[in-house]
Amino acid sequence: MDRFEVGWRDDEGEHRRPLTDVLSVEFEAGLPVRGFPSYRGQRHFPGLYWSATTGGHVGFESWLERDRGRRRRTHRAYEIVENRIARARRHGDREAVRALRRERRSLPSQDPHDPGYRRLRYVRYCDDFLLGFAGPKSEAVEIKEKIRTFLRDELKLELSESKTLITHATSQAARFLGYEIRAQHADTKITRNRRAVNGAIGLFVPRDVIRDRCARYMSGGKPALRGPLLHDEDFTIVAKYGSE
């Protein structure tokens, strides 16, 4: 154990000693190595909390505080086209305005790589869980490794490599509880003069599931006849199909 060193800070400054020499030092005695985040619109309250167990203050920061920024910054290329549209309007060039609007519609209005914006969302059903993260893949890998470590050390469970995947929500759907979840993108879907679909999370039924369900009621590539239901009432027929 002498090969390992522990570094910490307290009221007297910074320290670094072999692990065997600091076994008597309480973990809570160390000061935070960085400040707790604080910003407008914060939904959690990190900071120093009084602990009756330790008789002192303990630092707390929710994992959800990975969320940063109120909104993404404006995409630079989008902003340039916006300025060109305003200039064309001042000169009365309607043809240029229409062309620039079409160009603007192909660009994201917000910067998807904004380093000051992060979002992390979590949903679980039994032993299946899904994380949605807005940020770089390197940080997504870091989150996955932290989950693996927690499951192994705290719950004595192993993370399934075949089922635990990191996918890009726009180009590759995530399978969860038999559904496909992905970020939608359609520049041609306009609602109230805005692209209302882009970036919205959609829940979809996989094509293989649809084919399997349809195959139950097909015969020779056509809808199969179900003679026993011929003389039943409409409610009974609908209830029959619904129960299947």
Q: Is residue 141 situated within a structural domain?
A: no
Query: CB of 206 within 8 A of CB of 155?
Result: no
Q: Which residues are registered as beta bridge partners of 110? A: 74
Nearest-angstrom CA–CA distance, 85 and 73: 20
17 and 40, same structural domain?
yes
Q: Which residues are registered as beta bridge partners of 134? A: 119
Q: Is residue 224 situated within a structural domain?
A: yes
Q: Which residues of 74-83 are buried (b: 16+ CB within 10 A; e: fewer)?
A: ebeebeebbe
pLDDT, residue 83, reads: 92
Burial grade of 91 (CB within 10 A; 0-12, 13-18, 19 or more): exposed
Nearest to 86 by CA among 96, 77, 74: 96
Residues with Cβ < 8 Å from 205, sequence gap 6 or more? 179, 180
pLDDT, residue 169, reads: 85
Query: Could you give the dihedral angle defined by the CA atoms of residues 170, 171, 172 and 176, in that order, rounded to the nearest 10 degrees?
Result: 10
Q: What is the pLDDT of residues 36-73, one digit of tens each?
A: 666 666 666 666 677 666 677 666 665 555 677 778 88
Q: Is residue 119 situated within a structural domain?
A: no
Instruction: List the chain residues with pLDDT less than 70.
Output: 1-3, 27-48, 51-54, 57-66
pLDDT, residue 125, reads: 84
54 and 11, same structural domain?
yes
Nearest-angstrom CA–CA distance, 145 and 131: 13
Q: Is residue 172 situated within a structural domain?
A: yes
Helix (H, G, I), strand (E, B) or coil at 244: coil
Residue 3 Cα to chain centre, angstroms: 40
220 and 199, same structural domain?
no
Q: Is residue 90 situated within a structural domain?
A: no
Q: Is residue 175 situated within a structural domain?
A: yes
Q: Which of 45, 62, 79 is the last residue of a domain?
A: 62
Nearest-angstrom CA–CA distance, 242 and 244: 5
13 and 57, same structural domain?
yes
pLDDT, residue 45, reads: 64
14 and 52, same structural domain?
yes
18 and 43, same structural domain?
yes
55 and 18, same structural domain?
yes
| Domains: count for the chain | 3
225 and 176, same structural domain?
no
200 and 220, same structural domain?
no
Please tell me the number of Cα atoms within 13 Å of 216 on its side-chain side.
7
- The total number of residues written for the chain in this structure: 244
pLDDT, residue 62, reads: 59
Burial grade of 213 (CB within 10 A; 0-12, 13-18, 19 or more): exposed
Q: Which of 37, 62, 87 is the last residue of a domain?
A: 62
Q: Is residue 131 situated within a structural domain?
A: no
53 and 9, same structural domain?
yes
Residue-number span of the structural domain to which 38 is assigned: 5-62
pLDDT, residue 36, reads: 65
Nearest-angstrom CA–CA distance, 116 and 91: 37
Q: Is residue 25 situated within a structural domain?
A: yes
pLDDT, residue 129, reads: 86
Q: Which two tokens stand for residue 12?
A: 């007297």
Q: Which two tokens stand for residue 220?
A: 């020779």
Nearest-angstrom CA–CA distance, 138 and 118: 13
DSSP state of 197: S
